[in-house]
Structure formats: structure tokens, C-alpha cells
Structure 1
């Protein structure tokens, strides 16, 4: 699998995982608020909290890197 495809899949899985946890958690905590507002809050928070994966070319080969707000700097994936 190409590194760009891996980065896309990892980004998608990270976002969706955090989004679902936040969406159902917020719906459990605040049942009286509109579902659309809860989904928008969960989407915004997930886009900030989810790890970001990117492909960087170093030394003639592509490497997969991860950046997350809970980890200082970049982490190599592979």
C-alpha cells in the first residue's frame, strides 16, 4: 500500500474514532440539545483532537509522519 493511502486511512480512522466517541458522549450528557449542534461540536473537536498523518520525502524515499497535540514534535510511522 502506498504511504499516501496509509496516511489517508489513518487520518480517517483517527477522526472517525474520536468523532463517534464525542458524538455519543455528548448525546448522553446533553440529551436536550439539538442533534445537529452536537454533531457540529463533535466534528469541530474531533478535527482538533485527532492525530494528523502526512507523507514526507526524506533521503529519496517517502516516510509517514504523525503529529498530535498530545505528543511533542513529529513521530515516524513505519
Structure 2
């Protein structure tokens, strides 16, 4: 499997791990209706979910992760 494909899957799984619980929590605890529930969950998830990126260096492709709760950029 290509490294860019793996990073895409990591990004998708991390987004889903935040989005799905947030969507149900917002619908349970708020009085919002319709499209506003998933929209608000989407915006919050964009802020909270970690970001994965492939960077090509002289040594080869490396995967880096940046997260709002971590100050440094971590290499995976």
C-alpha cells in the first residue's frame, strides 16, 4: 500500500473518531435541528482532529502529524 494511501486512511479514521461521537452528542445535548447538527460537528472536528501529512525528504517519504493538543509536530 502506498504511503499516501495510508496517510489518507489515518486522516479519515481520525476524522471519523471525532465526528461521529460529536454528532450524536450535539443532537442529544442541544436543540439544533436539521443540517446544523452535522455542520457544527464538522467544524468542531476540523479543529480538534489531528492532521497527517506526507513530506518527501532526501531520505524518502515521511509521515508527520500535527495536533492542537500537542505543541510539536510528530514524525510517525
TM-score > 0.5 by shorter chain = yes
Is the 8 Å Cα contact of residues 27 and 35 (structure 1) preserved in structure 2?
no
Shift of 1:29: 0.4
Paired with 2:36 and 2:74, the residues of 1 have a C-alpha distance of 34
Q: After TM superposition, what 4+ stretches of structure 1 lie above 4 angstroms from structure 2?
A: none
- What TM-score do you get using the length of structure 2 for normalisation? 0.92
- What TM-score do you get using the length of structure 1 for normalisation? 0.89
Match for residue 11 of structure 2?
11
1:27 correspondence with 2:27: yes
Paired with 1:35 and 1:51, the residues of 2 have a C-alpha distance of 27
Aligned length: 76
Deviation string for 1:49-76 (max 9, x for gaps)?
A: 1100000112230011100011112111
Paired with 1:75 and 1:65, the residues of 2 have a C-alpha distance of 6
Match for residue 64 of structure 2?
65
Q: What residue ranges of structure 2 are gaps of 5+ in the alignment?
A: none
